[in-house]
Structure 1
């Protein structure tokens, strides 16, 4: 190939390659030309000197590119005869030659079956979150940033004195969580039973990875938080949906077969808000004992109970070690504080710590230390008490606003706490259509039906109130009223 043709390949793209060495740019240009067949097998490359003159490069730059091409097998140098493109078949494998299944994304990239299941989950189950009245959003404007900043400073000063070798997480934080859970939630644990994660979703997913295999049966609430559906779909588990009523998870003899794990929210079902009654708690614990099964207790929203103190955890009701307790701080405090945890039976601590170290590594120590100091200083408990009062006020405001303008088409589902309300729609409305229309108006409500499995889905709206002022709640309900009126 003559130098003029190589110049035509090299020069047009040089402006896009300012940040890389010129010999790398030349190497990549020639490599691409060889792979694409523009420099065919056996083609002779120009000598380094005339090519350098033509491209206005130093000869050493051209020689370095040639040496790299030779090292990677694209060209061979014949003494006294110059450099030639190798005679091996360098034609790339085209996408249609690939045998693995491919996602229909137009890239021709092959993915695992796990990625297919995650992609299905993204497109089919997760409602978009945006705008006013979005559920699970805390009152971020009320977060005590000054106290948190002091805790960050404390963490920075003391981090060098901390033992960072434990795969369980920061010891000081585990001590604080253990003390808090014993007092407030009745959880039976020590710091050595606690494993720290980047949020409860990561924690629950790892628990499922450790406990189940593809094809295993897992009991889930119906309705259920779609993050649980997503985790189980990704792991190719068979979900056994158990309907939830006013007393929570309805476990019967017919539902108990072959299930290795039950994933539940006994303190407050998400999204309905119902609490698992004591008789059903005892029955579920007995089921786990008799069947040698595990219960993953996702203690969602337990701090925000308005009709009295938080209930004792399911884990704290039994001396039997069949319950794995999961909690998080991001929904209680602020979404940016991505810290969650598991409370594990003694026999599970070591295998879970091993799995976490392998799959996730250690969580950064600084935010763990800051949170530990925030708890030890009393700021965490103080903030929870303050938010409990504020959320009760905001819930009352939301319910009053809806009763004044939407009582004819929305019926409240009773709940004793939480950060959102659920309303059932009267006949004639499709909750997904309502939510799609609301999104266009800047309203982030979610369709109740999206949380159900099977054909028992109820039509309703999941409406957040915790993160919104009285003015924002008013604006949100006014916009929702317009949406529902237009769909009559």
Structure 2
């Protein structure tokens, strides 16, 4: 049986909401299409019911008939309605839809999507802090106002012209950028590699995800520093690995604990140049012990070269990979902290034996990255702009660190004790015993500060209370403004 909508009044009632609200959407045909689509999906226009003719609906809504005809054609193309020659348009009889709300929230009978066991494991891991550009004294933020934008735009323009007939795709990344990175690392970090060993990633996190998925089986153990970067926890968990937190001291990763008691570990993830967040450097003796362990056990070391470029008291130290670690060390670096956080480009330097397996996995993983930013960065490096910018930032950050230390000493009168480090983009300041750094940071975030609690970076080891204060991206005026916001909050806790 045909279901006819009554000819006059119900038509008006059905489309009154569109007359009041739908006409505000542009273009009009899209607004009318969405309106009718939702009425059909909610079963307000039931299957088999007749729609007004295009002329009738156009007159009712004060629209052109062509607009209504276009809407009906779209509805028919997507299967919502069917047109019967000489008899008008009908809601498709095949649509057996139960009446439901048109709201986007799930209804009472909607079953929730089931997540995997891996996703449930991630819920147990420390959540990462969200970064906001308006926050002051946020760690790991570069001096964005000092970035050579005109030079970068020139490189982007050069790269876009070169892409005109660029059809090659290499899962490892653009050859031009990989060549520049290999030359840079050989000259500045003592790394032994050629461009064939360099893989470009969309960020250090992606590199870690790939490395752990390639090197770990479920249940394999990974040695990590404690305190350390919490972002690595999710990558280890996702690969089914088990994290073994090893304490550090002023000489870095405690190899006396890690290597003597954890011989069954499959992998070590460390930051030998500068531990995050403490800034400690791994001693030469421990570096050699770690390399010897990797060779004897057939294990791999992932060297995250965090902030190695910003060593203020001399040139960067030789990377662990350069100390005869070419066959057992995966070296990881990133451009987001050197240049710009939005520049999601990082890289891995792989041991020769891992190049083919990683290349094969990368093809299945994402098929490689966009060529334009890679080619732009390659030109940026080839013209010497990258190295020049790096030298300027090293001097600038050293000046900003000195100013921060000076101001903290004057304002807080020794109640914040600096933990010495030879470089970086943030400072660690220890609080007096009994002061809860997390409570302080919760309050500072409310006033626009990006300071982080030191205790957040500890896992199994007894946490020290302190504040991780960024200075790299802030001039003297903004450092002063940030410390002025911190002062009353900290004084309140110190007096309590």
Indicate the TM-score class for this superposition, using the shorter chain for normalisation: 0.7 to 0.9
Match of 1:326 in 2: 332
- Residues 198 and 339, structure 1, Cα contact 8 Å, conserved in 2: yes
Provide closer, same or farther for how the CA distance between residues 42 and 386 of structure 1 changes in structure 2, counting only shifts above 3 A. closer
Indicate the larger mover: 11-20 or 268-277. Answer: 11-20
- Measured in 2, the distance between the counterparts of 1:188 and 1:194 equals 11
SS at match of 1:351: helix
Taking the aligned partners of 1:19 and 1:46, their CA distance within structure 2 comes to 21
Deviation at 1:297, TM superposition (A): 1.1
Residue aligned with 2:485, SS: helix
- Equivalent runs, 1:155-170 vs 2, <5 Å: 155-160=159-164, 164-170=168-174
The residue number in structure 1 matching 2:146 is: 142
Instruction: Note if contact 2:44-2:99 (Cα within 8 Å) is conserved in structure 1.
Output: no
Match of 1:296 among 299, 302, 305: 302
SS at match of 2:266: strand
For residue 283 of structure 1, report the CA deviation from its aligned partner. Answer: 2.5
Q: Structure 1 residue 137: deviation in Å? A: 1.5
Deviations 1:133-184 (A, max 9, x none): 2111122233333443443444345445767432322222211111111121
1:187 corresponding residue in structure 2: 191
Structure 1 range deviating more: 460-469 or 88-97:
88-97
Q: Aligned-pair distance for 1:192?
A: 0.7
Aligned pair 1:126/2:101, yes or no?
A: no
Alignment partners' CA distance in 1, 2:360 and 2:12 = 56
The aligned residue for residue 490 of structure 2 is 484
CA distance 1:92–1:259, shift in 2 (3 Å): farther
The 5-angstrom pairing of residues 174-253 of structure 1 reads 174-251=178-255, 252-253=258-259
Structure 2 runs not aligned, ≥5 long: 101-105
For residue 363 of structure 1, give the secondary structure of its aligned residue in structure 2. Answer: coil
Shift, 1:193, TM fit: 0.6
Distance (Å, rounded) in 2 between the aligned partners of 1:68 and 1:150: 45
Q: Does 1:387 align with 2:390?
A: no
Q: CA deviation at 1:87?
A: 6.9
Deviations 1:84-133 (A, max 9, x none): 763774227975555555xxxxxxxx655555666776x83326555322
The answer to whether 1:9 aligns with 2:14 is yes
Deviation at 1:358, TM superposition (A): 3.7
The equivalent residue for 1:342 is 348
The answer to whether the 8 A contact 1:289-1:320 is kept is no
Q: Please say if residues 453 and 468 of structure 2, whose CA atoms lie closer than 8 Å, have aligned partners that are also in contact.
A: yes
Counterpart contact for 1:39–1:85, Cα < 8 Å: no
> CA separation in 1, counterparts of 2:150 and 2:26?
45
Q: Is the 8 A contact 2:335 2:343 kept in 1?
A: yes
- The question of 1:429 aligning with 2:435 is answered yes
1:438 equivalent to 2:441? Answer no
Structure 1, 341-350 or 210-219: larger mean CA deviation? 210-219
Does the aligned pair in 1 maintain the 2:259–2:293 contact within 8 Å?
no
Shift, 1:213, TM fit: 4.8
Q: CA deviation at 1:382?
A: 2.6
2:408 aligned residue: 402
Structure 1: state its 5+ residue gaps.
Answer: 102-109
Q: Which moved more, 1:31-40 or 1:478-487?
A: 31-40
C-alpha RMSD of the superposition = 3.4
